Chain A
Amino acid sequence: MIDHRAPPPPAGPVPWDKKFALRLLADMVRIRRMEEKSAEMYGAGMIRGFLHLYIGEEATGVGALHALQPEDNIVATYREHGHALVRGMDMGVIMAEMYGKREGCAHGRGGSMHLFDRATRLFGGNAIVGGGLPLAVGLGLAAKMQNEKRITACFFGDGAVAEGAFHESLNLAALWKLPVLFCCENNLYGMGTALERSESQTDLCVKAASYNMPALKVDGMDIVAVHEITKQAAQRVRAGEGPLFVEYQTYRFRAHSMFDAELYRQKAEVEEWKTRGPIHTFSARLKAEGKLTEEEFLAIDARANAEVDAAVAFAEAGTWEPVEDLLRDVHAS
């Protein structure tokens, strides 16, 4: 267990209007329902390959992405279904990609780990740990050289911090004062390896700060704290202060991919984190403040389930790309 906990968030009511609060709650529920269904469809053999679920970590992606602008760039990992959805990708298109159907965002070429969307500036879905960080630096460089106002938000896990790419990227971004927001989703494990078994310095902010950039940590299970800190961070990056690092302290409730024996962590630890589950804690808070009724929650949930059903129907009705097209999209022509 790491002892570099984020400070407790400011007390007081949720600083958002009801509409915005319910929108973020709904996005967490949409991700949760979509992923539960994905797991079911994996079991049914409709989705194959690796499937990395974001269940438990929804507050991080939803809170952070809602603090960004449509013109911003997003770089994500293989645990990116939620990011794609919140960014605006159609759930049916995501599901179709996971089914390997032509109607998916990459026509079934990429699958679950490689969701790309030009329209929402989502630059993937990268399945090489740390692989997205240098890319984010380059996107930041391009924006800076072309005087664009966009920033690049790069999501990656705690495991990626051990890769050379992390260190090279943070150094470059700070050296060149690039508009990159490094979003580290610290769920305490890289596959089966706990953070304290892989890092000599488990305070990831200390590492980032050593590259001479501001580094903030936040309770990634608290969507309000996540959103507020990301908003501030994005503003600073956009204002030209250079890159910034945010560590979101979160937890994955499910296996690393679809199955692992979970020999590396205690059941009790998982259960303890589940009590901090982002959906029920945020709902409870909104209810206590009179911003959410049980009926409203049920309606949000019903809408999410309907969206999931429609997405599955869309994926199932999808078609297979003809084998004659196997060699397409390798070169420009």
Chain B
Amino acid sequence: MSRKLNYREAMREAMHEALVADPRVFLMGEDVGRYGGTYAFSKGFLDEFGPERIRDTPLSELGFVGAGIGAALGGMRPIVEVMTVNFSLLALDQIVNTAAAYRHMSGGQFSVPLVIRMTTGAGRQLAAQHSHSLEGWYAHIPGIKVLAPATIEDARGMLAPALADPDPVVIFEHAGLFNMEGELPDDWTVDIRSAKVRRVGRDVAIITHGGSLPKAMQAAEQLAAAGIEAEVVDLRVLRPLDTATIAASVAKCHRAVVVDEGWRTGSLAAEVMARIMENVFYELDAPVARVCSEEVPIPYARHLEAAALPQPEKIVAAVKEMLG
């Protein structure tokens, strides 16, 4: 017996479960309490768990993310919600210079069991300052794990292992997925180590993550109608990358297109392509291609925003061009 729920509900259930299961867990961030959560992920939590554990913060991203690090060091298991990745730039110093480096620079004496969650991505006409997809930046940093749940199962299941992890874990939730509905099977299990094949194919491997996953799936359906069977690989874990799953899919399909909402230059897509070169170069029948965001701050106007982002049509076109 599976049941239907949407991404938002899945995430809410996951947090609820964590709060019930472990008194050390608490949620902290802007408008998580009285307001009910910016995206209603924590609606009702304040009444149920009280203001100590559902902690509204001032607009002080650097301060409360840093406080989350300190609380984790001090024995708590904080879930810090940064409203969106855009505002996490104000907290970048604490995440990169402190959380990520703490274990190493203390010679392994201390660990920071902290979960930071944030919304990422474009697609809602919010313009340049509210549309970043910077998870690739975070994936650059040793010392943190970076997750990108893009399915109902992952939204429901990734938080618990993230909280159990002794190191800082940053979870990116793409805003375009929040209303997505899906079936959650009864026997779901989720790890935070592996990439997953979401669609089995043989002609081309489409490798993607987050908000681009549904776009890649749509593209694969369109390609199937044209007789091209695409395999879709969902990276899920952006750091550390699961190179083996990527390599296996490319070795099987002999062609690969990487889809990433980050900007092309210096993107996570570039890293995935490099790993393909390093590991399965001789399996390739064609140069690896990628579909990324255009190199422009994301514009407000609907048609320009759409043109700036990866779209199913662009993925289809990239695959068809590759197949000649």
Contacts and interface: CB of A to CB of B under 8 A. Distances in A.
Contacts of B127: 49, 109-111, 113-114, 127
Contact of A193 (B58, B86, B299, B307): B58
A218 B34 CA distance: 28
A111 B35 contact: no
Among A129, A165, A326, the one with the most B-chain Cβ atoms within 10 Å of its Cβ is A326
B90 interface: yes
Interface in A34-71: 48-50
A146 B297 CA distance: 32
B302 interface: yes
Contacts, number: 126
B47 to A, nearest CB: 11
A25 B189 CA distance: 63
Contacts of B63: 164
B contact patch SS: loop
Given A127-B129, A164-B90, A323-B304, A193 B60 contact: no
Given A128-B86, A191-B31, A327-B294, A197 B307 contact: no
B308 A326 contact: yes
B101 interface: no
A48 B302 contact: yes
Nearest to B62: A164
B130 A126 contact: no
Given A114-B128, A260-B35, 20 more contacts: A48-B125, A49-B125, A49-B126, A49-B127, A100-B302, A100-B304, A108-B301, A111-B300, A111-B301, A128-B86, A128-B87, A164-B90, A192-B31, A193-B31, A198-B56, A198-B59, A263-B34, A320-B301, A326-B296, A330-B295
A113 B125 contact: no
Contacts of B87: 128-129
B86 A108 contact: no
B3 interface: no
Interface stretch (A155-163, A219-227, A287-295): A155-163
A126 B59 contact: no
Interface in A282-325: 320-321, 323
Interface in A251-304: 260-261, 263-264
